[in-house]
Amino acid sequence: MTGTADTNGNPPPHFPSPKNLLNAGAMNSRQNLISGGPWVDIDLTALCANYAMIRNEAPSADIAAVVKCDSYGLGMAPVARALSQRENCKTFFVVYPEEGAALREALKSPDAAIYVFDGPHDETVPLFERYKLTPTLNSLHEAELWKTRMGDAPAGVHIDTGMNRRGAPMDDVASIAALKLNIIMAMSHLACASEPSHPKHKLQRDMFTEAAAHFPEAQLSLSASGGALMGKEYHFDLVRPGIALYGGTPFETDDTRIKPVAALRAPVVQLRNIGPGETVGYGATFTAEAPATIATVALGYGDGFPRAGANRASAVINGECAPLIGRVSMDYVTLDVTAFRNPPKVNDITEFFGPNLPLYEACQNCDRVAYDMFTGLGGRIDRRYL
């Protein structure tokens, strides 16, 4: 039947191989090391420190790790292995079963709990079974499918308490409970966690408490990064941090408890002097008013650096900050280094966010948040793990 496993239990042919998912960036990484393109340094010690900080903030809850979307673009396999081996993280969340399969192979641990937000479909049930993945059921239909195909196999349930995006409506919770599934985790998701004082939090918490009572044996989880850092009334049994692990704030303001994890860097590839009246870049959006020195750096929107950073963003070279001038092109940006006390040289390292330039500031200057800054990093950017 189309979309089912073969007689050896292998996933359907149209699924990407978990091995391919794990190695998708390997060729690009080797090419970058040769070509001198941009890269992102990823500090796994800082990652683990953020996990430990959240554990201290939510001492009564288990701490999971959300590693969906290739750990927010920073590399699922090395991130998950670091959290598992160094911090004894035992629970992980992904969106798709293909991600879960790749994660299982990366961890090489049959004991890790891997939850899949997307839930089961007819054609993906074989992946759940083969790789021991746990679905989060988002509807009565998914619950009935799991009961029919997998019987008493463990499952989670996602209850919608006001996000109106994914999750089972409150009206369906009793019907899902009546199926007598082996529900081991019940979750919901705060809609306004970026604003710690938002009145919707309490409404969702009360709705979740009411609905979760239908699953008395289940572990309860309401909070991702924001709720995990907001206080014990939102912790329940399990919190599911994502962005805070990777060095980004879940709030509308910066959070100094969170250590920077990723640093986006690229080399200077050319320097030039221009005179008054000369322009820089496509569209001639920058015109020099006086003699200037311009550094061209090997980073562009093709690597995921936002075009909105044109004439707004900045970068650090050898401890000195330079404004980005002109448009962001596919492969390059240009910086004004005229005022530098120590003029940069070709091959000097430029930092666009990291320890020397806060991620929060870089995101504001590019009209971004940490979530899309990280996940937008392109495939040709080398990921280097410290």
Q: What residues are labeled active site?
A: 68, 282
In whole angstroms, what is the distance from residue 73 CA to residue 66 CA? 12
What residues does 168 pair with on adjacent strands? 159
Separation of alpha carbons 373 and 368, rounded Å = 6
Contact indicator for 186, 218 with CB cutoff of 8 Å: yes
Query: Is residue 384 packed enough to be buried (19+ CB in 10 Å), middle (13-18) or exposed (0-12)?
Result: middle
For the chain, how many residues are written? 386
Other CB atoms within 10 A of residue 170 CB:
15
CA distance 87 to 372: 26
Amino acid letter, residue 170: M
* Dihedral pair phi/psi, residue 275, rounded to 5°: -105, 170
- Enter the tokens of residue 296: 């061209």
Residue at 233: amino acid letter: E
d(CA 386, CA 369): 24
Nearest residue to 176 via CA among 137, 149, 234, 226 = 137
In contact, 144 and 122? CB cutoff 8 Å: no
**Nearest alpha-carbon partner for 309 in 298, 319, 321, 323:** 323
Instruction: List, in sequence order, every beta strand (DSSP E) within 286-340.
Output: 286-287, 292-297, 314-317, 320-325, 333-336
